[in-house]
Amino acid sequence: MKQQVDIEVAEAVDEIREVVGSWKKQGKAVGLVPTMGALHSGHLSLIRRAVENADEVVVSIYVNPTQFGPDEDYEEYPRQLEDDIKKCREEGVGAVFCPSDEIMYEDREYLSIQIDQLNETMCGASREGHFEGVLQIVNKLFNVVKPDLAVFGQKDIQQYILIEQMVREFKHDIRLIQGDIVRANDGLAVSSRNRYLSDEQRTIAPGLYRSLRYLKQQLGPDVDNVSLMIRHQQDELEAKGFEIDYLNIFDYKTLEPIEQMESDHTYILAGAVYLGETRLIDNMLLRI
Ligand code: AMP
């Protein structure tokens, strides 16, 4: 149920620490939902998961420059803080943390997080430095907010798996919750970038979801022409006007593309495509 409550809006590290500190003193469990703002129904579903699972929720809103490549849409990325704060208030969020670049980064940073193997496929293969930037900022957010739990979406499945790995390796005492992908009625995964699509591109866009759904129905351990089936869907998408970055099936643990599925495994069917300049990603999990 929606509730109108007071919401703290903190820009400084000390401010948000004070807010969270006072909640913790009262024995409250704190949930964090990191976002880049321009909140849509996908973000709101994550916020609801956090509200259900924690006593107080912090939503961070920060467009992180280090996760954008030089040719990506950092400058154009939508920014609508007032509207976002209003949505957070309606969902019962206790605090919004919206720091500036100066607060999140030192003038000169000497340290960074390196990733081995898990960024060599999927989005990591074509977005150089993206996931290092994501981990750098999420690590900072975890240290600033010190939440008991954090919610991230399955929509960015490679990001989720890398954050899970970071929590494990860096011993963050944080429970991760994976939020389901929220879709429009025609199946298109909701995204801040969908607003860049023209009307014509918007009608084509659910094709990615349909290809993934088709493959999910068809693929299984007894199928031995996995790559042929995927190639066929790639051709179909190209014929519809998509430019394909990747469309493939990956092992959930190693993120390597696979040729043959085995029982008792989890796989990720995932795609990244362009419609004009706009990059769309989507995925489905296959537990066999
Ligand atoms: P972003 O603001 O794009 O960095 O996304 C913030 C969080 O929202 C990430 O954990 C995303 O995986 C999640 N998210 C983005 N789109 C969706 C969606 N359609 N459904 C559910 N979660 C989403």
pTM, two decimal places? 0.96
* Helices (runs of H) and strands (runs of E) counted in the chain: 10, 9
Count how many Cα atoms sit within 13 Å of the Cα of residue 17 in the half-sphere of its side chain.
Answer: 8
Q: In this structure, are 38 and 163 located in the same domain?
A: yes
- For the segment 130-168, what is each residue's pLDDT rounded down to a tens digit? 999 999 999 999 999 999 999 999 999 999 999 999 999
Residues marked active site are found at 43
The number of folded domains in the chain is 2
Q: What would you measure as the largest C-alpha separation in the chain, in angstroms?
A: 59
124-127, long-range: CB < 8 A, 24+ apart: 124/158, 124/255, 125/246, 126/245, 126/246, 126/272, 127/69, 127/72
Please report, for the domain that includes residue 220, its CATH number. Answer: 3.30.1300.10
3 belongs to a structural domain: no
71 belongs to a structural domain: yes
185 belongs to a structural domain: no
* Pair of tokens at residue 64: 């992180």
Q: In this structure, are 115 and 199 located in the same domain?
A: no
Tokens 């014509």 locate to 200
Q: In this structure, are 248 and 105 located in the same domain?
A: no
- For the segment 31-78, what is each residue's pLDDT rounded down to a tens digit? 999 999 999 999 999 999 999 999 999 999 999 999 999 989 999 999
* Pair of tokens at residue 26: 């009262």
Q: In this structure, are 247 and 164 located in the same domain?
A: no
Residue 227 confidence class, pLDDT cut points 50, 70, 90:
very high
Alpha-carbon span 246 to 279, nearest angstrom: 11
- For the segment 181-209, what is each residue's pLDDT rounded down to a tens digit? 999 999 999 999 999 999 999 999 999 99
Q: How far is ligand 1, taken at its centre, from the CA of residue 188, in Å? A: 13
Q: How far is ligand 1, taken at its centre, from the CA of residue 191, in Å? A: 7
The whole-number average pLDDT for the span 1-27 is: 89
In this structure, which amino acid lies at residue 276?
Answer: G
Alpha-carbon span 123 to 102, nearest angstrom: 28
- Which residue's CA lies nearest to atom 10 of ligand 1? 152
Residue 1 confidence class, pLDDT cut points 50, 70, 90:
very low
225 belongs to a structural domain: yes
Residue 210 burial (CB < 10 Å; 0-12/13-18/19+)?
A: middle
Q: Provide the residue range defining the domain that includes 263.
A: 192-287
123 belongs to a structural domain: yes
Q: In this structure, are 121 and 208 located in the same domain?
A: no
Ligand 1: lining residues by beta carbon, under 6 Å = 35-36, 42-43, 45-46, 152-153, 155-156, 179, 181-182, 189-192
Q: What is the CA radius of gyration of the chain?
A: 19
Who's near 239: CB < 8 A, 6+ residues apart? Answer: none
Q: In this structure, are 79 and 144 located in the same domain?
A: yes
Q: In this structure, are 55 and 114 located in the same domain?
A: yes
Please report, for the domain that includes residue 22, its CATH number. Answer: 3.40.50.620
Q: In this structure, are 140 and 27 located in the same domain?
A: yes
282 belongs to a structural domain: yes
Provide φ and ψ at 97, rounded to 5°: -105, 110
Q: In this structure, are 219 and 152 located in the same domain?
A: no
Q: In this structure, are 248 and 175 located in the same domain?
A: no
